[in-house]
């Protein structure tokens, strides 16, 4: 994901990174070349003049725009729900860290190191969920955060965030058995873990249940058929400007189609997907700061290229 300061209208015209233009450039070049060929042959194919009334494209364009609006809303809902789930994870991670640091009455010499270890498990949980959603290997990151014993428990598991939740629950229960927290605090912390579990389930629902494939293929086919037939409808109306007009219309529809497909998978690693790595880094920095665990300070910038 790319986050910038607000740009002027002129700067927005020339922004490259974050635009889907690079992704759709081959399609636009193909349609433009096809439009030039239609213009050169004056809309004739093997001595047959293709007559298409521009009014047909007005009706089709309106219907296509309505359908694209529906698909865009459906996929943006997925994107925004994913962002809300990860926003909740930021809040709940900080809350659980605060409870562990403030509500566990442990005066033993190694109490601070035990609490720090739990805070590291919270950070590891966030990274494990990140890498699971992106189908990447989380072990190098988890090995740097977890103790050797805990890392051995999770390294070969398929659902690492769930196992880390179990480890956190066992740790909290051990504090209760040692009478370092009372039952009320135990219930409160267990509720925090339940919220973590709900976040896992919500993210898995988004990742494993995309928009029905029939919608995607219908939208894709309709957009490209519309763009390739459009030159025949405009060649006799706008003359030599037809390829330019077709290019502009095609850019609008094809770019929106690409954006719809991109935000429909919010946990990916494309430029407009959620910045899961940066969110995990924010969580880790925040809870480590709460627990006074040394770490480097992130640098500020006007433009962020997040992943």
Among 91, 42, 94, CA closest to 237: 42
Does the pLDDT value for residue 6 go beyond 80?
no
Give residue 304's pLDDT: 42
Mean pLDDT of the chain: 88
For 42-72, b/e burial (b = at least 16 CB within 10 A) is: ebeeeeeeeebeeeebeebeeebeeebeebb
Judging by beta carbons within 10 Å of its beta carbon (0-12, 13-18, 19+), is residue 33 exposed, middle or buried?
A: exposed
- pLDDT exceeds 90 at position 138: yes
Candidate from 24-28, 29-33, 303-307 with smallest mean pLDDT: 303-307
pLDDT at 303 over 60: no
Q: Give the pLDDT confidence score for residue 1 in this predicted structure.
A: 56
What percent of the chain lies above the pLDDT cut of 90?
Answer: 57
Per-residue pLDDT at 301: 42
- Specify the pLDDT at position 11: 67
pLDDT single digits (tens) 260-297: 888 889 998 888 889 999 999 999 999 999 999 987 76
- Span 75-103, average pLDDT: 95
In this prediction, residue 300 carries a pLDDT of 47
**Over the stretch 191-243, which tens digit does the pLDDT of each residue have?**
999 999 999 999 999 999 888 888 889 888 999 999 999 999 888 888 889 99
Residues above pLDDT 70, as percent of the chain:
91
Bridge partners, 48 (sequence order) = 45
The pLDDT of residue 159: 94
């Amino acid at each position: 994901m790319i986050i910038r300061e607000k740009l002027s209208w002129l700067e927005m015209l020339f922004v490259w990174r974050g635009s889907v233009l690079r992704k759709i450039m081959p399609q636009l070049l193909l349609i433009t070349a096809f439009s030039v060929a239609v213009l050169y042959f004056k809309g004739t194919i093997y001595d047959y003049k293709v007559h298409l009334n521009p009014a047909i494209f007005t009706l089709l364009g309106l219907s296509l725009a309505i359908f694209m609006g529906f698909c865009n809303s459906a996929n943006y809902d997925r994107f925004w729900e994913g962002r809300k789930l990860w926003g909740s994870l930021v809040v709940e991670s900080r809350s659980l860290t605060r409870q562990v640091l403030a509500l566990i009455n442990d005066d033993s010499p190694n109490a601070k190191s035990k609490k720090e270890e739990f805070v590291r498990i919270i950070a590891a949980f966030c990274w494990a969920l990140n890498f699971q959603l992106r189908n990447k290997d989380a072990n190098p990151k988890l090995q740097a955060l977890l103790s050797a014993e805990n890392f051995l428990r999770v390294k070969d598991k398929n659902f690492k965030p769930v196992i880390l939740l179990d480890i956190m629950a066992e740790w909290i229960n051990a504090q209760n058995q040692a009478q370092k927290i009372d039952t009320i605090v135990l219930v409160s912390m267990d509720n925090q873990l339940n919220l973590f579990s709900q976040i896992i389930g919500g993210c898995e629902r988004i990742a494993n249940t995309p928009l029905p494939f029939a919608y995607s293929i219908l939208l894709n086919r309709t957009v490209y058929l519309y763009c390739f037939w459009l030159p025949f409808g405009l060649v006799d109306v706008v003359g030599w400007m037809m390829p330019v007009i077709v290019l502009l219309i095609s850019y609008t529809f094809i770019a929106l189609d690409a954006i719809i497909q991109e935000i429909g998978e919010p946990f990916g690693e494309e430029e407009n997907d959620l910045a899961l790595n940066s969110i995990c880094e924010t969580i880790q920095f925040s809870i480590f700061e709460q627990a006074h665990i040394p770490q480097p300070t992130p640098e500020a910038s006007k433009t962020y290229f997040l992943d």
